[in-house]
Structure 1
């Protein structure tokens, strides 16, 4: 089992393998600007992930999980956490739906270019010792999209994390036409 710092390092290593390196290899003949865009995306994903882990480390130990929240990179390349106060009182599935709709509205307004949604769920792997998983869904307006599932256990006031699984996922936030009017 790992602590939060090891989780961040492991994510970054796996992210490089699954998301960036194949794209870089395929783009060897592409111009320099394409490589710069991929590096920018990687850095944004890293900063969002680190901010999210910082934001949930204390909460996950205190409550055994976290309600859905997001970390976004705005169009000025600033990274910030987004929590919806009312969502804290909602069932987790409803809170996740409200958060996604709010992020879609921000995308339609041209306010954000990348999202990372963090939440906990019951572990779908019944053979695992961990009852819960931390789910991180990361998307970028330029295309890269992935989900990370990390089993975790809370014991003696500390969270320890198991082996992560990183998979491609369908777009949830950036599957809209940005030029549409923003939802009110």
Structure 2
């Protein structure tokens, strides 16, 4: 491998790193590839060249110094666009357990976690936490029962995501029951 492409190797290391990568980590990786000892000064010089390259207005990325290392980030002009993608992706990824928990909360709100678990028959800590993180549910207050457990309800984000103005617009359970789930023969 040629040292002429040293900046490209550094660029590849920074690009492929999930979090910021330090000068020392870059040196360790390059030493392993080139079987050569690189100085901090040389690597810092190459990183500055890369930063200048990415300062160009034609690039959507910038090379930023973070947490004693370097990382590629989207320039501020594009944050809203990237944020929309992240919102879209975060809304798509609900597990079956989270969907069940969300349905129980939507139809029985306000409801405590204990009541959710009694309906589902399993612990719902993780599902409730994920729904809170995704802001699909919120805390309503505390129940007037012993221990004063937290009450959960659907949030404005839930309403927006499902295109509802109010909870009364949720489909009625009788409208979504399937004959295949019925037991026995229908009574006329």
Q: TM-score, normalised by structure 1?
A: 0.23
- The structure carrying a bigger strand percent of its residues is 1
Of Structure 1 and Structure 2, the greater helix share is in: 2
Relative contact order, CA 8 A, sep 6+: which one is greater? 1
Q: Which entry has the higher C-alpha Rg, 1 or 2? A: 2
State TM-score, norm by structure 2.
Answer: 0.22
